[in-house]
Amino acid sequence: MKGDTNEQALLKGLAHNDSKAVEIIYKDNFNMIQTFILNNNGSYDEARDIFQEAMIALYEKSQTDSFVLTCQIKTYLYSVCRRLWLKRLQQMGRFTGSVDGFEETVAVEEDLETHEKRNAEFVIMDRALNSLGEPCKSLLQGYYLKKMDMTALAAEFGYTNADNAKNQKYKCLMRLKKLFFSQYNIGE
Amino acid sequence: MDDILLLDAIERYLREEMSPEERAYFENLRNTTPEIDQMVVEHNMFLHQIADYSANIQIKQTLHEVHQNLLERGDLNEGGTLNTKGKVIQFFNKYKRVTTIAASVGGVIALFISGLAMYFSTAVNDPKLEQLGKDLEVVKKNQQYQGNIINEVTSKIPINARLLSGGSGFLVDVKGYIVTNAHILKGTGAIVVNSKGKEFKSSIVLIDHVKDLAILKINDDEYEAIKSIPYTIQKSNSDLGEEIFTLGYPRNEIVYGMGYLSAKSGFNGDSLSYQIQISANPGNSGGPVFNKNGEVIGVLSTKQAQADGVAFAVKSKNIHSIIEDLKKSDTAFQRVKLPNKSSLKGVERKVQINKLEDCVYFVKAYGK
């Protein structure tokens, strides 16, 4: 049972973006995935992409309230990577019909669907933020991503007081929301 | 209601920063105004989107950093150049300490071997060694610089004699006995010059080419014996790392140099001498090497040609033995007595030098 508690602790660390936990999971699993990708027409870069994608999927899964991992981290990551890699091979037309690898797998299709949807949302957000232009982008990033308070933001961006900064932030936010939801709703 | 205030209120509501009364009021407003309720839901969703987006950026960054770290430590292998880099760094980290130790051991061994290589040959004939006696050209040149003194030189040096080489020497007996290197004394005789530029005629009373030591005796009426010599000649060996200094005449003026004892044997393991780390130049030969107490521990003799700052000094106990030899050679020298009182211990270096410079002489050898 010790292994299980260890894995639980690691997942908890991952959920909190703790680099120590990330490192342990990374170290324990990366080589296996890399070997798998390399053995199946992949490159070092692709191995890294796929593995990190799987890590993010696991991270997102660990964030949900109802999170339970019914298998080992290793099995889960392998399953996700295998799935992602097959998909990528197909997209690139490199798929040869079979993929080598004898590890056991679990069903991850549902998780991957959620993950892909999220990825799409992030792309929309990213695009929306980037089309805002400056200083809107940095102002909103400062407030919503870096969690700076209005006074500090006012100082950094050179607004005479926090209220003016807040006013500007409001305008930017409205634009961002508009941009985001227009894309988001199309996506739906 | 002002839109900005409303949005601010919604954000504070969602962050649960409202006071109970305000919260109750706001919830009431939500219930009664569908537009506001819709705004709250929408904004909440939007904030979650932003938070997730932010978290996604952060986890990507963490993954990237972890990947780089593991790669640098060599825990990951990505082939090609990155792989090599990882390995090198990994090996470096792993063997850092070993490498340091190995390097120092290697250094010591290198020094040792360079000393050992030609153990039995006479150091003096080795091309890798430079005797620090000044050759004729240098001395000649110096004479030209000397202006007035040059007349004195010709006056003290016998007519028809040519100046052959120069070096340093120091008193070991107030009666005018000076120890210097044998290799300086290329000719038939020598004159000595004190630190004030005054010259005295002298004769070579003993020369030992094996030890590379010689004794001169000042035979000049103008010579006034000093009261006492402020240093002793150490009989025992000195320790490694001991701070040393030297006085000599690489130029026509007395020059001070400082260094440390770096090995207990000289070139090629020559047990008659020490290796010392000091900047020595031609002309320093025959000069005394003092320890920090101002006691003579050696006679500066040669330096390694290829290595900067590496010099060798004949151990001072050899002075004791040549003095014994001298006493045996003639009854006239029975009364030669090495100084037995060191009075410079714990004295400031400037004061030590002040006392010592009267006892260090510029030796000029001449021949026919």
Residue in chain A closest to B66 (alpha carbons) equals A23
User: What is chain A's Cα-based Rg?
Assistant: 21
| Confidence at residue B213, expressed as pLDDT on a 0 to 100 scale | 92
Can you list the alpha helix ranges (DSSP code H) found in chain B?
Answer: 3-14, 20-32, 34-73, 80-116, 136-145, 148-156, 317-329, 349-356
Q: How confident is the model at residue B95 (pLDDT cuts 50, 70, 90)?
A: low
Lowest mean pLDDT among A114-128, A149-163, B254-268: A149-163
Residues of chain B neighbouring A59 (CB-CB closer than 8 A): 59
Point out the residue among B50, B57, B70 whose CB comes nearest to the CB of A26: B70
Tell me what the mean pLDDT of segment B216-238 comes to: 88
CATH 1.10.1740 correct for A2-107 = yes
More confident: B136 or B316? B316
Tell me what the mean pLDDT of segment B39-64 comes to: 86
Residues of chain B neighbouring A57 (CB-CB closer than 8 A): none
∠ CA B155-B157-B163, rounded to 5°: 130
Question: What is the pLDDT of chain B when averaged over all its residues?
Answer: 80
| Confidence at residue B141, expressed as pLDDT on a 0 to 100 scale | 59
What does the pLDDT look like over A73-114, one tens digit per residue?
A: 888 888 889 888 888 888 877 666 666 666 667 777 888 888
| Confidence at residue B82, expressed as pLDDT on a 0 to 100 scale | 44
| Confidence at residue B287, expressed as pLDDT on a 0 to 100 scale | 92
| Confidence at residue B290, expressed as pLDDT on a 0 to 100 scale | 93
CATH 2.40.10.120 correct for B130-367 = yes
pLDDT exceeding 90 applies to what percent of chain B?
A: 14
- At residue A81, what is the residue type? C
Point out the residue among B8, B49, B78 whose CB comes nearest to the CB of A44: B78
What does the pLDDT look like over B19-50, one tens digit per residue?
A: 888 888 888 888 888 888 888 888 888 888 88
State the span(s) of chain A assigned CATH 1.10.1740: 2-107
CB-based contact B293:B176 (threshold 8 Å): no
| Confidence at residue B100, expressed as pLDDT on a 0 to 100 scale | 76
Residues of chain A neighbouring B42 (CB-CB closer than 8 A): 177, 181
**pLDDT of B152 over the 50 cut:** no
What does the pLDDT look like over B177-207, one tens digit per residue?
A: 999 999 888 877 788 888 888 888 888 888 9
Q: Say yes or no: A167 contacts chain B, CB-CB below 8 A.
A: yes
CB-based contact B249:B283 (threshold 8 Å): yes
**pLDDT of B288 over the 60 cut:** yes
What does the pLDDT look like over B244-254, one tens digit per residue?
A: 999 998 888 88
Tell me what the mean pLDDT of segment A173-184 comes to: 82
Tell me what the mean pLDDT of segment B53-75 comes to: 85
Tell me what the mean pLDDT of segment B213-224 comes to: 89
State the span(s) of chain A assigned CATH 1.10.10: 111-187
| Confidence at residue A28, expressed as pLDDT on a 0 to 100 scale | 86
Q: Which of A65, A81, A115, A122 to mutate to test the interface with B (most CBs of B within 10 A)?
A: A122
What are phi and psi for residue B311, nearest 5 degrees? -135, 165
Q: DSSP secondary structure string, B156-180?
A: HSPTT-EEEEEEEEEEEETTTEEEE
| Confidence at residue B119, expressed as pLDDT on a 0 to 100 scale | 65
Q: What's the CA gap between B360 and B337, in Å, rounded?
A: 17
CB-based contact B230:B355 (threshold 8 Å): yes
Residues of chain B neighbouring A167 (CB-CB closer than 8 A): 4
Instruction: Give whole-number Cα distances, B79 to A34, A80, B86, B94, in Å.
Output: 11, 24, 10, 20
Task: Check CB contact under 8 Å for B49 and A167.
Answer: no
Point out the residue among A31, A56, A170 whose CB comes nearest to the CB of B60: A56
Residue B5: DSSP 8-state: H
Q: Packing angle between helix A19-39 and helix A2-15, nearest 10 degrees? A: 100
CB-based contact B275:B265 (threshold 8 Å): yes
| Confidence at residue B245, expressed as pLDDT on a 0 to 100 scale | 93
What are phi and psi for residue B158, nearest 5 degrees? -55, 145
CB-based contact B17:B9 (threshold 8 Å): no
**pLDDT of A3 over the 80 cut:** no
Buried b (16+ CB within 10 A) or exposed e, B27-66: eebbeeeeebeebbeebeebeebbebbbbbeebbebbeeb
**pLDDT of B145 over the 90 cut:** no
Q: What's the CA gap between A31 and A47, in Å, rounded?
A: 9
CATH 1.10.10 correct for A111-187 = yes
Task: Check CB contact under 8 Å for A125 and B49.
Answer: yes
- Number of Cβ atoms within 10 Å of the Cβ of B248: 28
- Number of Cβ atoms within 10 Å of the Cβ of B4: 16
Tell me what the mean pLDDT of segment B56-84 comes to: 77
Q: DSSP secondary structure string, B186-233?
A: -SSEEEEE-TTS-EEEEEEEEEETTTTEEEEEE--TT----S--S--B
Q: Say yes or no: B68 contacts chain A, CB-CB below 8 A.
A: no
Tell me what the mean pLDDT of segment B47-54 comes to: 86
∠ CA B5-B10-B13, rounded to 5°: 120
Q: Say yes or no: A29 contacts chain B, CB-CB below 8 A.
A: no
Distant-in-sequence, close-in-space partners of B135: CB < 8 Å, separation ≥ 6: B165, B282
What does the pLDDT look like over B290-340, one tens digit per residue?
A: 998 889 999 998 887 777 788 899 999 999 999 998 888 888 888 888 888
Lowest mean pLDDT among B47-56, B64-73, B74-83, B108-117: B74-83
**pLDDT of A29 over the 70 cut:** yes
- Number of Cβ atoms within 10 Å of the Cβ of B204: 17
Nearest to A34 by CA among B76, B75, B257, B321: B76
Task: Check CB contact under 8 Å for A180 and B4.
Answer: no
Q: Which of A10, A24, A45, A55 to mutate to test the interface with B (most CBs of B within 10 A)?
A: A55
| Confidence at residue A2, expressed as pLDDT on a 0 to 100 scale | 46
A180 class by beta-carbon count within 10 Å (0-12 exposed, 13-18 middle, 19+ buried): buried
| Confidence at residue B244, expressed as pLDDT on a 0 to 100 scale | 93
